[in-house]
Amino acid sequence: MSGRTRTARTLALTAAVLVAAAAAAPGAAAIDHSKGHPGYCKTDTGVTVVVDFQQLGGTTIVRCNPQGTRGTGLDALKGAGFQIAGVQRWGEAFICRIENRPSAVEKIPVKGNEGYREACVDTPPAAGYWSYWHAGNNCAWNYSQWGVKNRDFVPGGFEGWSFSLNATADSNPRPRIAAVRPGTGGRACNARAEPKPTTNDPNARQPGSGGGNGGTGSGGDNGSGTDGGSGTDGGSNNGSGNGTGNGGQGSTTDPATQPSDGPVQRPGALPPPRPRNAGAQQAADDPSRNVAFTGGENARDVNDVVREQSGASDLAPWVAAGAVVLLAAGTTVAALRRRRARRA
């Protein structure tokens, strides 16, 4: 057999295998909007997720992840029905888009690069990224010291995502929705303080966090209210009442400092968790100052929006596949013909 025929056959085979591999990708399974429910969580079970687009524009969305078991911040976000995208480099350990904002076609006026567009390939710039917050019910927002996959959400509490544009570590905007569930206003904040990160290991988990769904969950070491052991005990929110009593333990809050999910710390590595100095603010914001929000009831499926934005055509992939097959056939025929001509 000649090299040409063999080459042609290799080409055809490679093309066939690759087309088959691409075709074998499972069908669309978007994070559906049927997960979670709009608005605040009604009870202590589950966690309320607030997504504040800030300067990106767009109405703030509040949804509830009613999941009773423990889970990470990522589980909360997904369980509430938000459709997110992680950067290609780190996967979902670094969230670059929530509900397709900032989209790939959207220009973000980042300082020093006015026409910046988030491609979600590498770590977003420190001047334009989704900052990650959390709060117990009736507590002030805390800038998370841990990455989204490295800490557990506080059952009955809040998870906040706020787009930080041209802000410093001290001026990151906190979500403009007070972390107070309707009907529970005026009660004491009794969430336990989260332990600070002690290592630089990006994979380190917050002590006491149980991991994804159905994690163990022995929880914290002090008897404070919502330490999330079971996550289903109805009275944990205002139970033991030590929230404000145990020294610096209660609900330290400083909406600032080191982003664990923020700017690049070391190029070439996922930003490590960073400890920060605890502040003293303890009270939640005034709920009457909340910005307008929706439950995202009318939000369209992100996959549809992306399809529309990109001008993608349903036909184009078929044409591409057809072109590949045609070219492979043409290649085989040409190789055979040249070989025959040479033989003659």
**Which residues of the chain form contacts with other proteins (CB under 8 A)?**
2-4, 6-8, 10-11, 14-15, 18-19, 21-22, 25-31, 78, 83-86, 88, 91-92, 103-105, 113, 117, 119-122, 201-203, 302-303, 306-307, 309-313, 316-317, 319-321, 323-324, 327-328, 330-331, 334-335, 338, 341-342
Q: Closer CB to other proteins, residue 149 or residue 174?
A: 149
Dihedral-angle region of residue 263 (phi above 0 means left; psi in -120 to 50 means alpha; beta otherwise): beta
d(CA 170, CA 176): 16
Q: Closer CB to other proteins, residue 119 or residue 291?
A: 119
Q: Shortest Cβ distance from residue 207 to other proteins (Å)?
A: 15
Q: Shortest Cβ distance from residue 198 to other proteins (Å)?
A: 14
Q: Shortest Cβ distance from residue 246 to other proteins (Å)?
A: 32
Q: Closer CB to other proteins, residue 13 or residue 291?
A: 13
Q: Shortest Cβ distance from residue 17 to other proteins (Å)?
A: 8
d(CA 76, CA 96): 16
d(CA 94, CA 74): 10
d(CA 262, CA 64): 24
Q: Closer CB to other proteins, residue 55 or residue 337?
A: 337
Q: Closer CB to other proteins, residue 98 or residue 180?
A: 98
Q: Shortest Cβ distance from residue 82 to other proteins (Å)?
A: 11
Q: Closer CB to other proteins, residue 171 or residue 200?
A: 200
| Tokens linked to 29 | 């399974």
Render 74-100 in DSSP notation, one character per residue.
Answer: HHHHHHTT--EEEETTTEEEEEEEETT
Q: What is the CA radius of gyration of the chain?
A: 25
Q: Shortest Cβ distance from residue 294 to other proteins (Å)?
A: 22
Which single residue is written with the structure tokens 């309320």? 48
CB 129 within 8 A of CB 173: no
Q: Shortest Cβ distance from residue 157 to other proteins (Å)?
A: 24
Q: Shortest Cβ distance from residue 42 to other proteins (Å)?
A: 27
| Tokens linked to 202 | 């990006």
| Tokens linked to 238 | 């205002």
The identity of residue 295, as a single letter, is: G
Q: What beta strand segments (E) does 209-256 contain?
A: none
Q: Closer CB to other proteins, residue 185 or residue 263?
A: 263
| Tokens linked to 312 | 């993608």
Residue 306's SS3 state is helix
Contact residues for 19 (Cβ-Cβ < 8 A; gap 6+): 321, 324, 325
CB 208 within 8 A of CB 281: no
Q: Closer CB to other proteins, residue 145 or residue 332?
A: 332
